[in-house]
Amino acid sequence: MSEKVWNRAAAAMIAAGPIPMPVNDTLLELLRTIMDEEEAEFIHIFTKPSLNMAEIRERCDMDEAGIRSMLDRLLHKGALMVTTSRSTGVEVFTLMPPFPGLFEMTMVRGEKGEKEKKLAVLFERLFEDLSQMVQENYENVVEAMKVIPPITRVVPVECEVDVKGEGVMPLEDAMEIVDKFDTFAVSHCYCRHHKDLLGKPCEVTEEKVNCLTFGRSARFMIDYGFGREISREEAKRILRECEEAGLVHKFFHEKNDLERDEFAICNCCRCCCGTFELYYRGAAPMQTYTSYLAAVDGDLCNACEVCVDMCPMEALALDGDAVAVDDGKCIGCGVCAYHCPGEALSLRRTGLRQVFVPPRRLG
């Protein structure tokens, strides 16, 4: 019976997320490290990713006090997230999938105890398991992944973007997106913290506290100790520091719907970021929404290759006397344009598009 409980909990968490993965020993050990069996048994009531309190009462035989206690335990452990509907005021509880979800919530506090070190190793093993699964079934898995929508939207860094005099649209400007909100939280970068726990510190920046959440999601992060509250001005300062370091702005939208508000931003580097890393280790495609492509002015390019070194997607390469852009790999992040010493690089607007770069074939 015990194994059945853990398997059902793992299956429910996988079903709550966008990335298919097997229920294996690594994932089961992860869950056992994070929660107890009673909590695992409760999780299987999430036959859909989000439930309100009325739906939770219908699905379990616990009294109100017991339900509240259970929810509070799982919220503090990062297995659930709660927000309040703006239209109805009803609390909605959302189950966290293994990735993205549980990985972020267990690493985001920046804790360094034995439990966190064990979790870091287990997540690393889970990513290796995922890579092996993809590589062994590459053609079929990649074809299936093409129908999964991106979970992030890349917004270019705040640089002089050449869009033929049109200017950057407000929804494509990180600073203007920040201006939409009144509540902000900053947390440890879970990806860099994960690497720190594995003894592989970030090669791009020493700053570790630069993941931002906004609005209702920020309130949750503050209330449950996953982040600290900051001002709008401090949020913008953090974004500017990230741009100077060559990090990529990746925004997340509520319910993964671009028509809804943003709720968080990751500031990503190639060496630590989970989405970049899974792409390079052959475990997942690079999928994102973007509205720009890098463009090179060959007359201004001095072939210094600064942009080649900084591009997180290896989309730039020296071609004769100037750099050339691989449009199929470019995610329009603007890191190259921001850091080009000769101002030879700019971004051109493409309109909203999806980038899909298949995971690397290994071996």
- Please state the rounded mean pLDDT for residues 43-51: 93
Copy the structure tokens of residue 258.
């671009």
194 touches 241 (CB < 8 A): no
Residue-wise pLDDT tens digits, 232-265: 999 999 999 999 999 999 999 988 899 999 999 9
pLDDT tier for residue 224 given thresholds of 50, 70 and 90 = very high
What is the residue-averaged pLDDT of the chain?
A: 92
**Is 162 a residue whose pLDDT tops 60?**
no
Q: How confident is the model at residue 171 (pLDDT cuts 50, 70, 90)?
A: low
Structure tokens at 164: 């033929």
**Torsion of Cα atoms, 153 then 224 then 13 then 253, to 10°:** -20
pTM here is 0.91
pLDDT digits (tens, 9 = 90+) for 117-136: 999 999 999 999 999 999 99
In this predicted structure, what is the pLDDT of residue 347?
A: 92
Q: Mind listing the domains of the chain with CATH numbers?
A: 2-98 (1.10.10), 142-357 (3.30.70.20)
Q: Is residue 106 pLDDT above 90, yes or no?
A: yes
Which of 75, 194, 180 is CA-nearest to residue 124?
Answer: 194
